[in-house]
Structure 1
Amino acid sequence: MFKRAIFSQSRQIAAAARIPAARVVVPTTANTPARRWYSEEAKKEEATEKKEGTPKVSEEIEECNKQLEEKTKEAKDYKDKFTRAVADFRNLQDRTEREKKAAKDFAIQKFAKDLVESVDNFERALNAVPEIEKSANKELVDFYAGVKMTEEIFLSTLKKHGLEKINPMGEPFDPNKHEATFQVPMPDKEPNTVFHVQQTGFLLNGRTIRAAKVGVTSAAK
């Protein structure tokens, strides 16, 4: 009886001892709670660092974008200035070339105007010979032919250097080349037609250095 009582009590003690053990969820190892606590705290710290780090990265990206935009605008401004500088330089080159050519073409303008007076003297000398005497007097005919030939050679030489005589007889009136001294109504001719040349004109490389003085027709009244 005594042995049975002891055995029964032992079983009750063992059963009682097992009940708390079954209800325990966390292992009884001493290091386990500390490790679990560290792991959870580390995760919290990492999450906090991520939350704190995200605004900083966004600010840096925004700052980089702002700097990139400024540099892009600055590069565009430099490109525009460079393009304008190149265009201005090319325009300067073209203008310089034109001025050089003009200076070369019209360097003798003053000298050419002086030569025009000599050409006028040839014309006056030829016009001074009466028409009736051109065939009657052989000496006068030879003199007239010699003066005429000299005039033609002189005008040909001047033309090689850009100085050209213009005789606008029968041509339409051009205010850039002609100077109208009088007008006469002529029904049989077109209005503004040169019918009389009082003084011939001259061009130097296409530019008028002396306008021809002419008489011009006008419309019949």
Structure 2
Amino acid sequence: MRPALVFSLARRVSLPVRPGCVSGLARPASSSRQSFRFFSSAESSATPGDEKPEKPAQAEAAKEETPASSGGKEKETEAAEVSFEKLKECEKKYQDASAKVKEMQDKLLRTLAEMENLRTRHRTDLDNSNKYAVAKFASSMVEVADTLELASKSIEAERLEEDTPLKTIAEGVKMTETILLKAFENHGIVKDQPEGNLFDPSFHEAMFQMEDKSKVRGTIFQVMQPGYRIHERVLRAAKVGTTTGGPAPPPPPPKEKEGK
């Protein structure tokens, strides 16, 4: 350390400074310089020839690094091949899963359609069961209606005027027939009296024919037994007699298309 610097520090801290101390402080600086010079000289004393033996070691290290680098490339290639195989496997699994999903969607749509058809059929069957629940009973009761009608027609009007009790009975029979027909109507059953209409095989049963050129061929001129219908179904076909030898009937009107 320089003496001037020591004196300046001593003045700032107000300490007495001896000249010997200053000289003592200055000595280590020279020794440190010497040691520094010795270290630097030791480093500089190394000649360039001393570094030559290191080259073979570096060459060997380079030789060792070369196979390692080639092995790393091989590993990278193998890893790439494995990744490609995994990708193909994943793609195949995805295609299989997509096919299964499509198959399940088709089955679901088919099942939904079948359920809708089943629901519609069930609703139709339920409506028909409600509408035609009395069909069997009504088919038996129409014979009662026929009997009441025949009883009313079998009594002559002249006798009714002469016999008051018989007139009362005839009126009771006629009233019973009327009540029965009204009950039929309440359940959708109507009486079919097709006299004067054209013959329809869906609702009529032809018992005999009579030639009549003045009427259209197939006209019903006599009803032997009236028919009955329950809603859109035939409960009993009417037994009728039709004409023949007349002009041909007109063609039926075209059926309207659904949705119009």
Q: How does 1:57-206 map to 2 (within 5 A)?
A: 57-130=83-156, 133=158, 137=162, 139=164, 144=170, 146-206=172-232
Which of 44, 54, 68 is the aligned partner of 1:29? 54
Structure with larger RCO (C-alpha < 8 A, sep 6+): 1
Match of 1:7 in 2: none
Contact 1:134–1:144, Cα closer than 8 Å, also in 2: no
Hey, what's the Cα distance between the residues in 2 that align with 1:194 and 1:172? 6
Q: 1:108 to 1:135 in 2, by over 3 A?
A: closer
Hey, what's the Cα distance between the residues in 2 that align with 1:144 and 1:68? 88
Contact 2:193–2:223, Cα closer than 8 Å, also in 1: yes
CA deviations over 1:41-65 (Å, ceiling 9, x no partner): 3331222122223322222111111
Hey, what's the Cα distance between the residues in 2 that align with 1:82 and 1:47? 52
Q: 1:134 to 1:200 in 2, by over 3 A?
A: farther
Give the superposition deviation at 1:168.
1.0
The code of the aligned residue for 2:102 comes to K
- What is the SS of the residue equivalent to 2:54? coil
Q: 1:134 to 1:167 in 2, by over 3 A?
A: farther
Contact 2:215–2:246, Cα closer than 8 Å, also in 1: no
The code of the aligned residue for 1:200 comes to P
Contact 2:216–2:243, Cα closer than 8 Å, also in 1: yes
Structure number, greater radius of gyration: 2
Give the superposition deviation at 1:115.
1.0
Hey, what's the Cα distance between the residues in 1 that align with 2:69 and 2:235? 99
For structure 2, the residue ranges without an aligned partner over 5 or more in a row are 1-47, 248-260
The two structures have a TM-score, normalised by structure 2, of 0.65
Of the structure 1 ranges 136-145 and 211-220, higher mean CA displacement relative to structure 2 is found in 136-145
Give the superposition deviation at 1:146.
4.9
- What is the SS of the residue equivalent to 2:181? helix
- What is the SS of the residue equivalent to 2:155? coil
- What is the SS of the residue equivalent to 1:54? helix
Hey, what's the Cα distance between the residues in 1 that align with 2:125 and 2:146? 31
Hey, what's the Cα distance between the residues in 1 that align with 2:200 and 2:162? 41
CA deviations over 1:121-146 (Å, ceiling 9, x no partner): 22112222336x38965847666555
Contact 2:221–2:241, Cα closer than 8 Å, also in 1: yes
Count of aligned residue pairs for this structure pair: 195
Match of 2:29 in 1: none
Hey, what's the Cα distance between the residues in 2 that align with 1:145 and 1:178? 31
- What is the SS of the residue equivalent to 2:222? strand
Same amino acid, percent of matched pairs: 31
Match of 2:71 in 1: 45
Give the superposition deviation at 1:120.
0.5
What is the root-mean-square deviation of aligned Cα atoms in Å?
2.8
Hey, what's the Cα distance between the residues in 2 that align with 1:144 and 1:162? 27
CA deviations over 1:44-90 (Å, ceiling 9, x no partner): 12221222233222221111111111111112222222222222222
